A and B are shown apart, each in its own frame.
Chain A
Amino acid sequence: MVDVTIRVNGQARSLDIPPQVSLLDALRERFGLTGPKKGCDQGACGACTVLADGERINSCLALAVQYDGREITTIEGVDDPLQTAFVRNDGLQCGYCTPGQICSALGMLAEYKDGAPSAVTEPDADPGELTEEEIRERMSGNLCRCGAYNGIVKAIQETAALDTEEVSS
């Protein structure tokens, strides 16, 4: 057994767990934070996406013990205009992939702002306005079987534009 303390949504939480417990299972089954979802348990669907010190990760591929002393944000700790944009644009149906899509999008927007390259943008290119193509490329790690992709892309684009307006004004 291993002692672990993780800051989850701003609150320090301690656990005594076997080392093989994934971060996702620790969040869901130990902390009762069921916002992050388990769709595949192998990093293929993105439903378990959370933010670790602001960066998006698949929490099913992470061991809880690796995150000792780190800051984890789950959907329960997110309060962002992106959430209402998802509802307004119907970027969801069953809702199972939604927490992962939202956390992933928040991480992605930060990556984009920091100039992280993608298959769509060259490494040294000036990141201009976030295009639909760019969003699709960068969000392709998050599956949605209901097929809410169009609404998700719109919600992200709207929110990104909002963000840009705030910065420029």
Chain B
Amino acid sequence: MTALQQRTGSVGTPVDRVDGVAKTTGTARFSAEHTYPGLTYAAVVHATISRGRITAIDTTRAADIAGVIKVITPENAPPLKPAPRVSMLNMSSIVSGTSVNYLQDNEVHWDGQPVAVVVAETSEAAKEAAALVDVTYRTTESSVDFVTARLQAQVQKGNPLLPAGAKKGDAAAALAGAAVSVDAEYTTPPYNHNALEPHSTTAAWDGDRLTVHDATQSIGWFRTHLALRFGIPEANVRVIAPYVGGGFGGKAFVWPGTVLAALAARATGRPVRLTLTREGVYRTVGGRTPSIQRVALGATQDGKLTALIHQSVARVGRTGGMPEQITTQSRHLYAAENILLEQRAVEQDVLPTTSMRAPGESIGTFALESAIDELADVLGIDPIDLRMHNEPDRDPVDGKPFAHRMLREAYAEGARRFGWSARSPQPRSMNDGRWLVGMGVASAFHPLMLFTSNVTVRLSADGTVLVRCGFQEMGMGGATVQGQIAADALGVPFDAVRVEYGDSALPSAPMAGGSMQTASVANSILEACAKIRASLESLAKRSGAVGQAPKAVLAKAGVPHVEAAVGSDTRLGKVTGQMRMMRQVMRDRRYLRAATGAHFCEVRVDQDTGELRVSRWTSVFDVGRVINPKTAGSQLRGGIIMGIGMALAEETLFDPRTGRIMNPSLAEYHLPVHADIPAIDVSWLGDPDPTMPLGLLGLGEVGITGVAAAVANAVHHATGRRVRDLPITLDKLVP
């Protein structure tokens, strides 16, 4: 073994995150914290109708406020090109949050749509003036109430990557003939991401060049999008986002604020900072679709599934949206003989919905995994035994092999850690004083793709390594983990590696979404490091330094550094990258690849008041190889906590008459707080996935899946009450 191949053993160790010091001392600068000479502040005026036309805008009162520079309305806004049509051939086209061409016409498509932007010398003046813009509307009849619109829902179109349905055998007939069955409707409300950092854009033009500091999880696509909207070459746009204060899908797409900041900067000839208010985030950044789901299960007396039906209704906006692949997990989790999956969506006059952490599976697992628990209850079988009895050997619908599947092991380990054997099977049979105690389980499931990424890696004669890649870091730990991977791949200490990220001037990386960033970037870093090792070996041979450390090889060869690139951002490089991506996708279609897990939840419910507390939590995951146990544990816990929020507290309330969000604030939309969250025991099996670089599976989303069902199942066990409508607030539990 040469010195180069020796592993320093950084991968798998709990290294502290590299940006921890910057974040705990206040030096980390987020998107609203970059200043420019002559910086101005912008504030948005939101429409107060859900559908119609602006008939007049009076800006007199607003313009009179001291410090106001300009009030931009459809009457005086600079031109903006329309958002591109969505095409699978141009992945960046999917990044438009809505198809609306902001401030270019008088149409209103949702309550909250920006209808004017005020630019002022101070944020106080902008805010005050925005409240004084007088807008008159003519309203048109609109559809905003999801519950009554469900009947108009149309069958959702799928695509090769995200099928919107499946059929195997005759599930309806099998259900009708089943010895035992359950058939119920489950509903989930709209949710909002509520990343703690509100969306903010600082935009500065220099002639035809645009620099944007944006809170985005999609740096490269934002650049493409902005270039297109403003009719300038892509090379003229730079998007910078080294620190992003949480995203969870809410910062994946381009929402009005980003475009309007650049538009306002162009209109005023001054740099503009547009930071959305928290209310502004609710009004202009899409949230998760509400859902109505039917799950029907048929089984034999001994618990063998004969029928699995999962049908869903979701919502999109008339100007775009994300209906979510709600039935995905139902395609892969159980070996039912007959399966029918159908997804429908209805278009409404609301802000387009968008992806939110584990779109599809977060809410889909609530219905499926609750139904499995209901069936276990009817059959009188332990819910884990019922799951294991129906655990498939191959993908149930199309028979593909699993890349990796260790759900059995996850349940066995979880049951041991949690103490599942102490659970008495009867509902409402365990208590601790006035508290009813319940235990529930549910499966976590999240399918995984691998994208391509461009990177450069440079090893210098002083032994340091520089990795450059335009990926995004919102707290997942990417900068830390990629440094660990590069350190091991080149046989240098972790501290010798520096990773540059969060800037569109760097080699382009995929968006942070679908839990694919870590593996996709790692794949290219490994390839680049292999090239460097090969170069070093030939240098070593030439200079007679075979077997020596990289530093020594470079010194002897008189070479200052060795650099390797994977992928290129030239026009040709992009085409090649796209083809490489398609090859990878085709290869990956041969098997089913997913991260899975088993959640164990204990709740306590006050027998008189219905007060509900999550008192214990254990989850065991199969997420392949874990690069950094510290950051991985945090991400998995974070998913579980967001799932507890989904289950117990969170809900975006739309006025069913006007379509206006009624609780657009952190005071009225209830996120889990410290007191809601016990110590969460997370662990993983650690077995590498054979189809992924280093055997790692993305883990940003699997944590949240299954959580709401585990809670609902525990609540049923504690109280005997089955709640099928999230969130499980205490009014649903009072005796």
Contact = CB atoms under 8 A, between A and B. Distances in A.
B26 A35 contact: yes
Interface stretch (A40-48, A121-129, A160-168): A40-48
Contact of B20 (A78, A92, A96, A132): A92
B24 interface: yes
B665 A87 contact: no
B633 A90 contact: yes
B155 interface: no
B700 to A, nearest CB: 11
Contact of B674 (A83, A93, A139): A139
Contacts of B1: none
B196 A97 contact: yes
Contacts of A39: 196-198, 278, 666
B80 interface: no
Contact of B26 (A43, A99, A142): A99
A61 to B, nearest CB: 12
Interface residues of A, number: 59
Interface string A60-98: 000000000000001110100001101110101111111
A136 B675 contact: yes
Contacts of A25: 123-124
A160 B677 CA distance: 20
B20 A87 contact: yes
A94 B637 contact: no
A107 interface: no
B634 A145 contact: no
B435 to A, nearest CB: 15
A35 B641 CA distance: 26
B245 interface: yes
Interface string A19-46: 0110001001100111111111111110
Given A132-B679, A145-B246, A147-B640, A93 B24 contact: no
Contacts of A96: 30, 195-197, 245-246
B638 interface: yes
Given A34-B30, A93-B638, A87 B124 contact: no
Interface in B41-92: none
A93 B475 contact: yes
Nearest to B28: A95
A45 B26 CA distance: 17
A150 B637 contact: yes
A41 B123 contact: no
Interface string B671-696: 11111010110000000000000000
A47 B196 contact: yes
Given A87-B17, A92-B23, A95-B475, A37 B30 contact: yes
A137 interface: yes
B408 to A, nearest CB: 28
B275 A40 contact: no
Contacts of A86: 20, 24
B674 A142 contact: yes
Interface in B16-38: 16-17, 19-30, 32-33, 35
B482 interface: no
Interface string B196-207: 111000000000
A153 B674 contact: yes
Contact of A20 (B19, B124, B638, B674): B124
Contacts of B360: none
B474 interface: yes
B631 to A, nearest CB: 7
A108 B639 CA distance: 27
Nearest to A76: B26
A40 B23 CA distance: 19
A147 B638 CA distance: 4
A90 B196 contact: no
A29 B278 CA distance: 18
**Which of B33, B246, B672, B679 is most buried by chain A, counting CB atoms within 10 A of its CB?**
B246
Nearest to A22: B124
Contacts of B197: 37, 39, 94, 96
A76 B25 CA distance: 6
A88 B672 CA distance: 23
Contacts of B672: 147, 149
A150 B635 CA distance: 12
Nearest to B30: A96
B277 interface: yes
Contacts of A141: 673
A18 interface: yes
Contacts of A37: 30, 196-197, 245
Contacts of B677: 136, 147, 149-150
Contacts of A84: 24
Contacts of B641: 147, 149
B418 to A, nearest CB: 17
Contacts of A35: 25-27
B71 to A, nearest CB: 20
Contact of A94 (B27, B33, B123, B475): B475
Contacts of A75: 24-26
Interface in B444-495: 474-477
B33 A34 contact: yes
B675 A21 contact: no
Contact of B29 (A34, A42, A93, A153): A34
Give the interface centre of B35, B198, B275, B642 by most chain A CB atoms within 10 Å. Answer: B198
B292 to A, nearest CB: 27
A8 interface: no
Contacts of B637: 147-150
A98 B634 contact: no
Considering residues A28, A43, A140, which has the most beta carbons from chain B within 10 angstroms of its beta carbon?
A140
Interface in B624-652: 630-631, 633-635, 637-642
Interface string B240-278: 000111101000000000000000000000000001011
Interface in B218-251: 243-246, 248
Interface in B378-394: none
B306 interface: no
Given A75-B26, A87-B21, A143-B666, A149 B122 contact: no
Nearest to A36: B26
A144 interface: yes
Q: Choose among B26, B194, B639, B665 the residue with the greatest number of A CB atoms under 10 Å from its CB.
A: B26
Nearest to A34: B33
Given A145-B246, A150-B637, A150-B680, A29 B19 contact: no
A145 B640 CA distance: 11
A98 B19 CA distance: 12
B572 interface: no
B667 interface: yes
A51 interface: no
A6 interface: no
A71 to B, nearest CB: 17
Interface string A87-117: 1101011111111001000000000000000
Contacts of B29: 34
B639 A147 contact: yes
Given A40-B278, A74-B26, A87-B17, 11 more contacts: A35-B27, A45-B196, A94-B196, A94-B243, A94-B475, A95-B22, A132-B679, A136-B674, A142-B674, A145-B642, A147-B642
22 contacts: A34-B26, A34-B29, A37-B197, A39-B197, A41-B277, A90-B631, A92-B475, A93-B474, A94-B197, A94-B243, A98-B24, A102-B24, A140-B673, A140-B674, A140-B675, A141-B673, A143-B671, A145-B246, A146-B246, A147-B640, A147-B642, A153-B674
4 tightest Cβ-Cβ pairs between the two chains A and B: A35-B26, A93-B475, A95-B23, A96-B245
Interface of B: 16-17, 19-30, 32-33, 35, 122-124, 193-198, 243-246, 248, 275, 277-278, 474-477, 630-631, 633-635, 637-642, 665-667, 671-675, 677, 679-680
Interface of A: 18, 20-21, 25, 28-29, 32-45, 47, 74-76, 78, 83-84, 86-88, 90, 92-99, 102, 132, 135-137, 139-153
